[in-house]
Structure 1
């Protein structure tokens, strides 16, 4: 550049202006990203809490760039990380991270906390976790911090233009309704009525998100909870998906899509996008070899039947090649499975994404 300046100051200045103009759209393309939910999307908030629902010891994180546990319930990247990459942004930091300051606030924040559900009584066995109402309170507090940094108007605009991901529901079945043979919720509701109740409560949560400024929200339902190694180990007959949890997921997800369609209609805009996580995972659970997996029944890390008993710890069985396992631990997909899920979120048909996929959202929003 110095030789250019000495040779031709005018030409050099013009080149610098062009370079800056070219860089600006890239900088602005990295829209803010906010994450709410449970362990499927927790980036490490629970590391800062006194709770047993945490992933802060090996072999968690074995395939993460640092090869160290980060609090993600994964061998490497989780779903929010991979969505951030698609946005051209760095991963969101946990809201409780002391590093979430200054310009890092512009990236967004991850409020998710392993163990939580739609209902406040879900995950009570994990004690100190950030329930969804608290996550939304922290989101309001985050916006005050962002406003102090860039001004209230700019902060509101950044939140309105952000992408939001919320993942809830699985724990309300696994760690509540089916937690014990005669759980309080099971005595209160059959599966159908409980699912309807969950959806009505989820709707209130989504409306609160809207009140807080969220305008593009990916909403995931439950995965095929009857087919995860943890359920196979405790409820399966001959390695087949556990009937009742699978029935619950098959009931919940269509109700969620129906609720989201109605909510968008009420709001007059496609604010909420349903992510059919059950269908996405069913594809590689029913035909793992078509996706390059050796198994979708046995977890990579665990012990007991299907490696589905207890927690993933340094003492657990550990598979040598995480890329050929659909599940990392008894309940969470492997990094490679997460990549398949996020690719489907990006480009999937209406079989998986209602009313549109993330690529369509990004294309539409780039024109605004």
Structure 2
């Protein structure tokens, strides 16, 4: 018996075939980009959640192309946006956005959520955030959706060939271990033991990401946690970085690099690349003038000492020129600081990027 298609019913099927062909043709030109992690890389997922960890009101986004808040914890672009610029692709959209569908899915997706950490109990005060396990569930769901567009085989290739950015760890100190005096985690672990525990849990997270298909993953360390305006406001007498938080970052970051090297040895490939964002930040925190900043201590937007107390809101102090400030709000870098960080991710020496920088990765992968 012959099966008759009406021209209308054939249209969706035909468009799927065309999309699959279009993807195959453009594979060489562009690669997908996936982002996981916390507020440093969240592009707006938390806008779709009932949570206090949001950046959806002015003056956030004041220097974004639309001059409106987008959910990014920035005056403008954040690190994933600037990496996308250098890759020649449009920014990844938040996975929860209703506009992420069709061909947009092939660009990649941002699964990050402000407030999350390596541990599930990090950020519990923010209530409804997308913990890392849930970000991975969404990544699996994403792959199922893309397979419906271009087929399972092409989806596997898209994910394997993608660039992935993972940013976690800072909140496990700031919004967990040091959140309150005598926190549950600080009573359970000494700081060195807590760092060892975090690294062992992070290893499981990254191994899971590999099992989900990721083959090129930039993993950022924590910045100099004790130098952010929020910590200066609470813990500093004369503008010096908070000693305990600097000790935490000093223990965590070298162990993270070692763990990534060990994972790569186990996997037999340079899957995980360590980005030493601590060193990148310290360059302009210790000598802001050399990078064209006037201050690395005072946030552009905030209130109280160093503009480090509370949130950035329409009622906060706001600096007239964001390019002169290392920090946009009490915790997050300005767009200009993010641009300097991405320059180091792209072209930095072994001090900043191990075992190679992003330019080398892109050159190697374009020949593969």
Which TM-score applies when normalising by structure 1? 0.93
| 2:367 corresponding residue in structure 1 | 367
| 1:13 corresponding residue in structure 2 | none
- Which 5+ residue runs of structure 1 have no aligned equivalent? 1-23
Work out whether residues 58 and 69 of structure 1, in 8 Å CA contact, stay in contact via their aligned partners in 2.
yes
| 2:10 corresponding residue in structure 1 | none
What is the CA–CA distance in structure 2 between the aligned matches of 1:40 and 1:149, rounded to whole Å? 31
| 2:284 corresponding residue in structure 1 | 284
| 2:229 corresponding residue in structure 1 | 229
Alignment of 1:1-368 (within 5 A): 28-368=28-368
Q: CA RMSD in A?
A: 1.0
Which secondary structure state, in structure 1, belongs to the residue aligned with residue 149 of structure 2?
helix
The CA deviation at 1:221 is 1.1
Which secondary structure state, in structure 1, belongs to the residue aligned with residue 363 of structure 2?
helix
| 2:6 corresponding residue in structure 1 | none
What is the CA–CA distance in structure 2 between the aligned matches of 1:151 and 1:308, rounded to whole Å? 49
Task: Provide, for residues 238-291 of structure 1, a one-character-per-residue CA deviation record: whole Å limited to 9, x for no partner.
Answer: 110000001000100000000000000010000000011111000000000000
| 1:7 corresponding residue in structure 2 | none
- Which 5+ residue runs of structure 2 have no aligned equivalent? 1-23
Task: Provide, for residues 301-360 of structure 1, a one-character-per-residue CA deviation record: whole Å limited to 9, x for no partner.
Answer: 000000000000000000000000000000000000000000000000000001000000
The CA deviation at 1:27 is 6.6
What is the CA–CA distance in structure 2 between the aligned matches of 1:340 and 1:191, rounded to whole Å? 31
The CA deviation at 1:190 is 1.2
What is the CA–CA distance in structure 2 between the aligned matches of 1:221 and 1:107, rounded to whole Å? 25
What is the CA–CA distance in structure 2 between the aligned matches of 1:178 and 1:221, rounded to whole Å? 18
**CA distance change for structure 1 residues 358 and 25 in 2, over 3 Å: closer, same or farther?**
farther
What is the CA–CA distance in structure 1 between the aligned matches of 2:182 and 2:61, rounded to whole Å? 36
The CA deviation at 1:237 is 2.4
The CA deviation at 1:191 is 1.1
Work out whether residues 229 and 307 of structure 1, in 8 Å CA contact, stay in contact via their aligned partners in 2.
yes
| 1:4 corresponding residue in structure 2 | none
Work out whether residues 115 and 123 of structure 1, in 8 Å CA contact, stay in contact via their aligned partners in 2.
yes
| 1:21 corresponding residue in structure 2 | none
Which secondary structure state, in structure 2, belongs to the residue aligned with residue 234 of structure 1?
helix
What is the number of equivalent residue pairs in this alignment? 345
**CA distance change for structure 1 residues 26 and 159 in 2, over 3 Å: closer, same or farther?**
closer
**CA distance change for structure 1 residues 334 and 174 in 2, over 3 Å: closer, same or farther?**
same
Work out whether residues 29 and 87 of structure 1, in 8 Å CA contact, stay in contact via their aligned partners in 2.
no
The CA deviation at 1:30 is 1.9
**CA distance change for structure 1 residues 130 and 107 in 2, over 3 Å: closer, same or farther?**
same
What is the CA–CA distance in structure 1 between the aligned matches of 2:28 and 2:240, rounded to whole Å? 48
Work out whether residues 34 and 108 of structure 1, in 8 Å CA contact, stay in contact via their aligned partners in 2.
yes
Which secondary structure state, in structure 1, belongs to the residue aligned with residue 28 of structure 2?
helix
What is the CA–CA distance in structure 1 between the aligned matches of 2:29 and 2:344, rounded to whole Å? 21
What is the CA–CA distance in structure 2 between the aligned matches of 1:200 and 1:352, rounded to whole Å? 23
What is the CA–CA distance in structure 1 between the aligned matches of 2:166 and 2:289, rounded to whole Å? 30
Which TM-score applies when normalising by structure 2? 0.93
What is the CA–CA distance in structure 2 between the aligned matches of 1:226 and 1:46, rounded to whole Å? 26
What is the CA–CA distance in structure 1 between the aligned matches of 2:113 and 2:206, rounded to whole Å? 17
The CA deviation at 1:162 is 0.1
Work out whether residues 29 and 88 of structure 1, in 8 Å CA contact, stay in contact via their aligned partners in 2.
no
Work out whether residues 64 and 77 of structure 1, in 8 Å CA contact, stay in contact via their aligned partners in 2.
yes
What is the CA–CA distance in structure 2 between the aligned matches of 1:121 and 1:325, rounded to whole Å? 32
